[in-house]
Amino acid sequence: MASTRTVNEPEKPSSKVALPEQEVDIHSAFPRIGLLNGLLIGLALALGVWGLEAINLLGVPIPLQYPSLIVGSILLVALCALAGWISGRFEQNAIVLLIWLVAGILTTLVVAFQPTIGRTLTIWLADFRFWGLPIYPSLIESLTAPIIAGFFIFLVLGLLAILQNYRLEMIAVEVNEAGRLMRRGWFLLLLPLPLVIIAGAVTAALFNDPSGQALQAVHRAIPVVVNSEGDLFAQGLEDGLNYSAFNSVRDQLTENYTLRLGEIDPVTSTTYVIANFDRGAWVACRILNDQLSFCYDTVAPYTIGLASLITGEALPDPCPGCLPRVDQTWQSWLAERGANFAREPQIDRVAQWGGYVLMRVESGDYALECWFSSFSPVQLDRCVEVAPEG
């Protein structure tokens, strides 16, 4: 009987043979996925830091409030996206952790300086006349405080850095044939973002920027004062807001106004908010320890006091606070130029940002521009001769 020989079928390639190539493909996608991961972390961080403030200030008439928040958010997103892209090129956890800790320090500094330096830069770019003036000087004396306040950002970013390669590997396999991330991949990317949002919100609370609450308090109070005919003190007790702070300027208020952040004094926990009304009223409100304290007509030193320095005429009696604080040199300089005004000078407010105010004095073919700073007390810094309008 003829013997039969079994022909062995060729073995199918084992899936293990493709693993090295597949692993190379997965790791080559890490920088791209890391970039996306960092971008989302930056967005979540910006949302946690400034999201609530942006929502609370919706409808509040504040010029240039959102541009500084947008610039700050762009910086956070850019820093985190760059950290994700660079760290995605390294497999060593120590290097990835170092990159993200550096990103954490930089993002914390952005959060710390946005209320002061960020707002100032925005104003400089919007109004070049104020370029170089310390509109909102930094309240932070050393870098130690913001780095300590950024502990929660460091903690969350450090944890995500340690887990990054593991997460990127899990996400990299969740790509379809078209090269697009599938649902599970998006889920893995978005999963830690609530933790990042919380870290951003806690950090923002630790920095305790009082400007948002101060602006909201004045914005809440003005419509009530304008439309109320009753006792402001009693209504304030009911609503928990000191409406009677507006008693001295109540008849000057209207429903159309804009608000600007004045000065912030951390030593006395005082914030000034300036309200400009469509009928010309110019009211300063002092907020003390987040409570509306007192509002007053702020125009006198910039008009009555300035006119007295130029013309030499006596101030009306009584007129407390009408005369701005001024150096003797500038007092003499203004007195010498009083003769150049053919008639009573016309004084107009040109612009105001922070505690700095630019006033224009004109009469006939002669004009001056004068710079003031501070609100308590108002100080005349300098004046310059300018060409008359028209």
Residue 44 sits in the same domain as residue 158:
yes
SS3 348: strand
Q: Cβ neighbours of residue 322 under 8 Å, at least 6 residues apart?
A: 300, 301, 304, 305, 308, 315, 316
Give the residue from 273, 297, 321 where a domain finishes.
297
Split into its structural domains, the chain has a count of 3
- Tens place of pLDDT per residue across the chain (390 aa): 444 444 444 444 433 333 444 444 666 778 888 999 999 999 999 999 999 999 988 889 998 888 989 999 999 999 999 999 999 888 888 999 999 999 999 999 999 999 899 999 999 999 999 999 999 988 777 677 788 888 999 999 999 999 999 998 888 888 777 668 888 989 999 999 999 999 999 999 888 788 888 999 999 999 999 998 888 888 888 888 999 999 989 999 999 999 999 988 877 888 999 999 998 899 999 999 889 999 999 999 999 999 999 988 888 878 888 899 999 999 999 999 988 887 888 999 999 999 999 999 998 889 999 999 988 889 999 999 998 875
Q: What's the confidence (pLDDT) of residue 268?
A: 82
Rounded CA-CA distance 301/309 in Å is 10
8, part of any domain: no
Helices (H), the chain: 19-28, 30-56, 65-87, 93-113, 119-126, 144-149, 151-172, 183-190, 193-207, 211-227, 232-239, 300, 306-311, 328-337
Residue of 28, 38, 24 lying closest to 85 (CA atoms): 38
Please name which of 58, 96, 52, 85 lies closest in space to residue 200, comparing C-alpha atoms. 52
At 362, which CATH number?
3.10.450
Specify which residues 363 forms β-bridges with.
Answer: 366
Token digits of residue 117 = 């330096």
Domain enclosing residue 173, as ranges: 18-207
Residue from 85, 144, 137 nearest 116 by CA: 137
83 in any annotated domain: yes
Give residue 26's pLDDT.
67
Close Cβ partners of 344 (under 8 Å, ≥ 6 residues apart): 307, 311, 363
Looking at the structure, do residues 323 and 238 belong to the same domain, yes or no?
no
Measured distance CA(242)–CA(276) in Å, rounded:
20
- Which residues are CB-contacts of 184 (< 8 A; sequence separation ≥ 6)? 174
Cβ–Cβ < 8 Å for 164, 37? yes
- CA dihedral (364, 369, 373, 377) in degrees, to 10, reads -20
What distance, in Å, lies between the first and last C-alpha atoms of the chain? 124
Based on the fold, state whether residues 269 and 321 are members of the same structural domain: no
Query: If you ran DSSP here, which 8-state letter would residue 342 be given?
Result: S
Do 215 and 189 lie in one domain? The reply is no
- The pLDDT, as a whole number, for residue 9 is 46
Q: Helix and strand tally (H, E) in the chain? A: 14, 9
Of 389, 390, 386, whose CA–CA distance to 368 is shortest?
386
Query: Same domain, yes or no, for 339 and 382?
Result: yes
Q: What is the pTM of this model?
A: 0.83
Output the pLDDT for position 107: 95
Q: Quick check: is 7 in a domain?
A: no
CA distance 149 to 113: 13
Query: How far is Cα 335 from Cα 326, in angstroms, rounded to an integer?
Result: 12
| DSSP sequence for 326-381 | E-HHHHHHHHHHGGG-SSSPEEEEEEEETTEEEEEEEETTEEEEEEEE-STT-EEE
Residue 380 DSSP SS3: strand
**Of 207, 231, 264, which residue constitutes the final position of a domain?**
207
Q: Pick from 297, 318, 338: which residue ends a domain?
A: 297
- 158 and 283 inside one domain: no
- Give yes or no: residues 262 and 314 share one domain: no
**Is residue 5 domain-resident?**
no
In a domain, 3, yes or no: no
